[in-house]
Amino acid sequence: DLSTLLLIHDSYGLPADVILMLVQYAASSGKGNMRYIEKVALNWADEGITTHMQAEEKLQQLTDMGRAWHTVQRAAGLPERAPTEREKGYAACWVLQWKFSPAMLKLAYDRCVDATGVFKANYMNKILERWHREGISTSEQAQAETKQRREARKEANQPSFDLEAYERDSLFDTIGGNH
């Protein structure tokens, strides 16, 4: 373990205080093994995180993303599990950027599962992305939007001709003299 920490310091260029912050974060999140710490240290070095302030900002970002995922998890009733990187990114966007409430997350989750049968983060993202773009932030607005979309689909599926008028004015009727 000490040789890994020395490697992080000497080869990756992370100062001791940043390494200690990383180790503390890893331990507090239940990932205190040296392979994880080394992997994160390498990522931090690649991102240029070499100061105490940069490490604090990165840890705050990671903490916020974790909280965002837990908000989505609780709202949707998902089982306790580690999210994928994509799921963490979606959750951060939905909760931290777009500021969707747990009620709206639950509604989007329900629509996702109703349509697909399972939780699909990318499908749920499309729903929330549309709501964000259209300024939909309450369940009432979402229900109105759904009703509007259904009506638009109904209109789009209506025949563009009058079948009775077609039959009345049919060429076959005029040829036979039944007009």
Q: At residue 157, what is the residue type?
A: N
Any idea what the Cα angle at residue 66 is, between residues 63 and 68, rounded to 5°?
110
Residues 82-104: tens digit of each pLDDT: 999 999 999 999 999 999 999 99
Tokens of residue 129, six digits: 């992305």
Q: How many CB atoms lie within 10 A of CB 113?
A: 16
Which structure tokens are listed for 13?
């260029």
pLDDT averaged over every residue in the chain: 90
Q: What percent of the chain has pLDDT over 90?
A: 79
pTM, two decimals, is: 0.74
The radius of gyration computed from the CA coordinates of the chain, to the nearest angstrom, equals 28
For 37-86, how does the pLDDT look when each residue is reduced to its tens digit (9 = 90+)?
999 999 999 999 999 999 999 999 999 999 999 999 999 999 999 999 99
Residue with tokens 């089982």: 79
